[in-house]
Structure 1
């Protein structure tokens, strides 16, 4: 039986048997679905209830010499199916190579209305040691773990603003709270020095720590039922080239990559908004939207590369308060931020490759709608075994609410006749 054909209980049992998770982690997934009332109330303001989404898994994603299972939270089944299919294609070659910079986060302290900007800039530059000490004192535990403030800059912007930039090492956390704490402390110290109140002292979600991944897929692995691997690779390379010169295509190209990345970011309890903001700032850094991943065809392979910032963590934030997020990190074997970032980069390549291959091969819509048939069945009131039976009937016929309702009524009539 294929993994996607199993029940949830059977899938969990197989993952335990494979050693991908412990029985305790499987129990968390099996019993997931609701936070305690106290936890839910503490994690949101004006909390009314809880919103549930299914958690799936992209199987056997190759990452830097190992293969991992990547948890994904999404309402769209084709996203998880495409990720697993793309991972299969990535495994056909030598695997995905990952390059990651040191994990850092940035903050900015900005002053407005200073009477002498050059003098203020020089004064701030002369007190770098003071600001380093202030930052260390603001969060000594970060320094003890080897983190904290690592670099400072000062610049005049638009002949109006004075900006102090901070680069901070947050350890295994995403680092937003640490950055804000240090920025506010340094902002107060700089304000006393300049005799002025900072306009702002806060994290910036622009992230210049760019992770990179590359993969080479043998052409033969890309073949479909109607096209050779070389033909498919030619089409994928052409779509990639189009995304480099056409912003309409680039936006959709990148959205497909984020389908997988955001689902995994959400599953691990990280901040999807921060990740999306950083990635799209990077994609538009040249003044126009550029593709996050590119593909080039050689005589024997399709070579893909992806580059993007990934401001995530495995500690801090809401992660410790969300048992399923902790279980998701355990499922992926993500014990460091680098582990998670590498998996996200590989997942982005897998998601992109699967989408492009579908476009130049059988097309996206047929497979997408087949997987959406279950959603349609549920939306018109099918329950239990009716969902699968109705989805199967819809997949081979007209996919519409009216057709689904007619089929469901007919099924129920036959059942009670």
Structure 2
């Protein structure tokens, strides 16, 4: 294999030619596969090419919907982009289960986002604190050209404070800033503000401390938003009398007991909590991706929030009080419904319209509900039939496609496993019997 200079300057065909020549045994087959995933609409393909760098093809994920979600009395069809076979089915089942029990209740607790200027200062906190007190107003005034439009709409900078972090790292301080970015996720706005604060901090400090080439007590290291947003929170919950959970009252009470204990285990056992929360993220990520938001940022922030008390723990809670079963989630979600892919990707536009063109707050509620629904369906399966029964039935088509089953073989095998347990080996065995016959 060889290195290449100027790869980004090649056109797409040239990139594919170089790649397939140097990294694939069957050049023609690899090139054809990449081209098969191009969009036949040249204008649309060009749009996709410009989303990122060095594009050679498209990587498609299924775009599905989970209908019948009753959220605060309104019925939603939720778009989900995900490849895992059982996720949309599980979400749909949870929506159906709670549809006649009052549905999902959701609210936004807060929408504050965070950015920080990280810097070193070598002359002690008292001097720095005095300098900051005298220059804070000047720093805020420098931001007016950046913040005035956001402020007109009700957003902007909520707070700006100096924080002493020297107990964690020598000479380390930060300017900690909280923002309200309304319907935008706000990354570009936040980072632009932070870089202006950093520039102002350096310039004011140079005068205040009389910097020279040999005496520069303040050094800005970096300015960047944080994807940890513990004060940008959405909450969702479902609730009903325990007796309504199942037709049989005794079975309903036992189910509620096992369900609450399953959640409690995820509260105290990190090994279980990670898998528990991964199931929540199945629902959250699928909607975040379908609506053109940054699922990596959401993932990072949510998992940090799950460990905010010093141990990684469940994002959901369950309880039974006075005969009432309640299941809830509280989760940080920095989402946007304007800017970025929301205005560019045609399917994202479609997803937003499907959801009634929600505000950022509305989308936070919907995403929180999707996570709660996914978790409910998973725990319900775990404490009753077990997770594999439903999962493997949904996985059946993947196995059949892996072995290139014909349409008639698929119908025969699916009929067989309506009354038999699905396992990989069992599916292979039935297929082999069919083909040998």
TM over 0.5: yes
Distance 1:295 1:345 in 2: 15
Please say if residues 112 and 161 of structure 1, whose CA atoms lie closer than 8 Å, have aligned partners that are also in contact.
Answer: yes
Which residue does the alignment assign to 1:5?
Answer: none
Q: Does the alignment pair 1:205 with 2:244? A: no
Matched pairs, number: 384
- Unmatched segments (≥5 aa) in structure 1: 1-30
Please say if residues 97 and 213 of structure 1, whose CA atoms lie closer than 8 Å, have aligned partners that are also in contact.
Answer: yes
Q: Does the alignment pair 1:191 with 2:191? A: no
- Unmatched segments (≥5 aa) in structure 2: 1-38, 207-217
Distance 1:33 1:331 in 2: 23
Which residue does the alignment assign to 1:23?
Answer: none
Which residue does the alignment assign to 2:120?
Answer: 112
User: What are the superposed Cα offsets for residues 110-129 of structure 1, whole Å, 9 maximum, x if unpaired?
Assistant: 11143333212331233222
Please say if residues 62 and 95 of structure 1, whose CA atoms lie closer than 8 Å, have aligned partners that are also in contact.
Answer: yes
Structure 1 residues 367 and 401 mapped into 2: Cα distance closer, same or farther (>3 Å)? closer
Q: Spell out the pairing of 1:218-367 with structure 2 (5 A cutoff).
A: 218-223=241-246, 228-367=251-390
Distance 2:364 2:42 in 1: 27
Structure 1 residues 218 and 35 mapped into 2: Cα distance closer, same or farther (>3 Å)? farther
Greater mean deviation of Cα atoms: 323-332 or 401-410? 401-410
**Secondary structure of 2:176's match?**
strand
Q: Does the alignment pair 1:90 with 2:98? A: yes
TM-score normalised by length of structure 1:
0.85
User: What are the superposed Cα offsets for residues 92-135 of structure 1, whole Å, 9 maximum, x if unpaired?
Assistant: 33333323134232100011143333212331233222222222
Which residue does the alignment assign to 1:21?
Answer: none
Distance 2:363 2:301 in 1: 16
Structure 1 residues 67 and 123 mapped into 2: Cα distance closer, same or farther (>3 Å)? same
Larger radius of gyration: 2
Q: Could you say what the CA RMSD is over the residues aligned between the two structures, in angstroms?
A: 2.6
Q: CA deviation at 1:146?
A: 2.3
Which residue does the alignment assign to 1:161?
Answer: 172
Greater mean deviation of Cα atoms: 282-291 or 122-131? 122-131
Q: CA deviation at 1:259?
A: 1.1
Distance 2:137 2:250 in 1: 63
Please say if residues 105 and 207 of structure 1, whose CA atoms lie closer than 8 Å, have aligned partners that are also in contact.
Answer: yes
**Secondary structure of 1:118's match?**
helix
Which residue does the alignment assign to 2:6?
Answer: none
Moved over 6 A (4+): 31-35, 224-227
TM-score normalised by length of structure 2:
0.81
Structure 1 residues 86 and 403 mapped into 2: Cα distance closer, same or farther (>3 Å)? closer
Q: CA deviation at 1:374?
A: 0.6
Q: CA deviation at 1:219?
A: 2.4
